[in-house]
């Protein structure tokens, strides 16, 4: 296979397009270029990512970057592929429900960490990029014991990725948007009448449409407890994500229950030759090691947080004792 047989973006992503022999110092690489572009996008948005801006990060000319990346669109695709898989760790053991739940949530968290990804138009090549194939590998691994045909598993992957993207877009544009001011709310309350919007009007009148909760004072507006709107919003976002996830899993469970089961050919195809079986076993072991390391790191983080909470509790206890003596 030659570079000319595949798109330039795929050739770059898979390392088929060789790095330039002559270039602006050896410390410049495709990985560093993509990482720098992601940092800019995280801080300032996708519009701030230009070839000139990224080159300036390394104190190189813009032409130096073109030796590694042909166009800004190529760079965007590489950024998307790297950003959406960088934080997606190995999916732990358990049944397919746990795996699919972890995959969906992991993708949504990726969009939350890098919301500018939603501004990048998808291309047919994106699904063949190494990062996206890694996501597919994780997802299919999570569905290893799901008794459905291979074509169904691939369809489920598309479903989960589509739900994650759509949910993340709603979070960014609606759920996590700026707080509604009093004037806007008053406008909606007046404009949404029972006669014209009979089903929505009741939700507007109760405040549910604006995210109010029982006990809130005007949804956290002036007069309510400080921070009520923000805290309620965070709970809403997590609650809606959990609801979305469980609805998807319930639907998948229904499909599994009535599925015809894996095709015999698919079962035969999974019998690997000894070298491939060894490579698969090594990959599974490496993934498990990464999962263990991530779990251990999470445990250490929780222990540090617990230590801080204990110290805060002890300080509060001392202050409470001192206060009781004064009174």
**173 vs 131: which has the higher pLDDT:** 131
The better pLDDT of the pair 16, 60 is held by 60
Boundary of a domain, candidates 199, 227, 255: 227
How much is the pLDDT for 222? 38
- Percent over 90 (pLDDT), the chain: 41
Do 193 and 291 sit in the same domain of this protein? no
Q: Return the CATH number at 48.
A: 1.10.10.60
> 261 with 279, same domain?
no
pLDDT of residue 230: 43
The verdict on 68 and 98 lying in the same domain is no
pLDDT at 221 over 80: no
Query: Do residues 79 and 16 both lie within one domain?
Result: yes
Q: Kindly state the DSSP code that residue 272 receives in the 8-state scheme.
A: -
CA gap 56, 62 in Å, rounded: 8
Regarding whether 155 and 131 lie in a shared domain, the answer is yes
**Which pLDDT does position 22 carry in this prediction?**
54
CA distances from 143 to 96, 168, 173, 256 (A): 5, 23, 31, 11
Q: Note the pLDDT tens digit of each residue in 44-71.
A: 999 999 999 999 999 998 998 888 898 9
Shared domain check, 71 and 58: yes
State the pLDDT at residue 213.
67
Q: Please tell me whether residues 157 and 218 are part of one structural domain.
A: no
Taking residues 126-142, report their average pLDDT.
90
Domain boundary, last residue among 59, 83, 107: 83
Higher local confidence (pLDDT), 287 or 101: 101
What per-residue confidence (pLDDT) applies to 169? 93
Do 108 and 240 share a structural domain? yes
Measured from the Cβ of residue 31, the count of other Cβ atoms closer than 10 Å reads 10
Q: How many domains does the chain have?
A: 4
Cβ within 8 Å of residue 91, ≥6 positions away? 98, 99, 102, 103, 106, 138, 139, 141, 142, 291
Band of the pLDDT at 298, cuts 50, 70, 90?
low
CATH value at residue 147: 1.10.357
Pair 12, 60 in one domain: yes
Residues 208 and 265 grouped into a single domain: no
The stretch 188-213 carries a mean pLDDT of 90
Alpha-carbon distance of 144 to 157, in angstroms, equals 13
Instruction: Answer whether 116's CB lies under 8 Å from 226's CB.
Output: no
Last residue of a domain, one of 227, 262, 296: 227
Contact 104, 158 (CB under 8 A): no
* Stretch among 13-17, 75-79, 210-214, 306-310 having the lowest mean pLDDT: 210-214
Question: Average model confidence (pLDDT) for the chain?
Answer: 81
CB 16 within 8 A of CB 1: yes
pTM of the model: 0.71
Could you tell me if 27 and 73 lie in one domain? yes
Model confidence at 287, in pLDDT bands (50, 70, 90)?
low
CB 51 within 8 A of CB 65: yes
Same-domain status, 24 and 14: yes
What percent of the chain has a predicted confidence (pLDDT) above 70? 78
Query: Would you place residue 234 in the very low, low, confident or very high pLDDT band (cuts 50, 70, 90)?
Result: low
pLDDT bucket at 93, cuts 50 / 70 / 90? low
Q: Domain range for residue 27?
A: 3-83
């Amino acid at each position: 296979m030659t570079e000319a047989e595949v798109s330039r973006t795929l050739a770059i992503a898979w390392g088929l397009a060789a790095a330039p022999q002559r270039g602006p110092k050896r410390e410049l690489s495709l990985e560093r270029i993509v990482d720098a572009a992601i940092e800019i996008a995280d801080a300032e948005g996708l519009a701030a990512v230009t070839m000139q801006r990224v080159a300036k990060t390394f104190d190189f000319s813009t032409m130096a970057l073109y030796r590694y990346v042909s166009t800004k669109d190529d760079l965007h695709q590489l950024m998307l592929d790297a950003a959406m898989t960088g934080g997606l760790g190995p999916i732990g053991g358990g049944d397919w429900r746990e795996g699919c739940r972890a995959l969906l949530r992991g993708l949504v968290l990726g969009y939350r960490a890098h919301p500018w990804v939603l501004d990048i138009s998808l291309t047919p090549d994106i699904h063949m990029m190494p990062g996206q194939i890694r996501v597919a590998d994780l997802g299919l691994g999570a569905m290893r014991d799901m008794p459905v045909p291979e074509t169904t598993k691939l369809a489920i992957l598309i479903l989960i990725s589509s739900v994650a993207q759509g949910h993340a877009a709603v979070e960014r544009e609606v759920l996590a948007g700026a707080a509604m001011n009093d004037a806007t709310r008053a406008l909606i309350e007046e404009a949404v009448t029972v006669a014209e919007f009979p089903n929505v009007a009741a939700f507007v009148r109760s405040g549910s449409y604006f995210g109010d909760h029982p006990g809130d004072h005007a949804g956290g507006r002036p007069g309510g407890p400080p921070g009520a709107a923000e805290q309620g919003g965070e709970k809403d976002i997590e609650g809606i994500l959990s609801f979305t996830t469980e609805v998807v899993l319930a639907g998948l469970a229904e499909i599994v229950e009535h599925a015809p089961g894996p095709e015999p050919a698919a079962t035969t195809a999974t019998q690997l030759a000894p070298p491939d079986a060894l490579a698969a076993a090594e990959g599974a072991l490496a993934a498990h090691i990464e999962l263990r390391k991530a779990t251990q790191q999470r445990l250490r983080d929780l222990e540090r947080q617990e230590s801080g909470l204990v110290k805060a509790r002890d300080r509060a206890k001392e202050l409470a004792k001192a206060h009781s003596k004064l009174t």
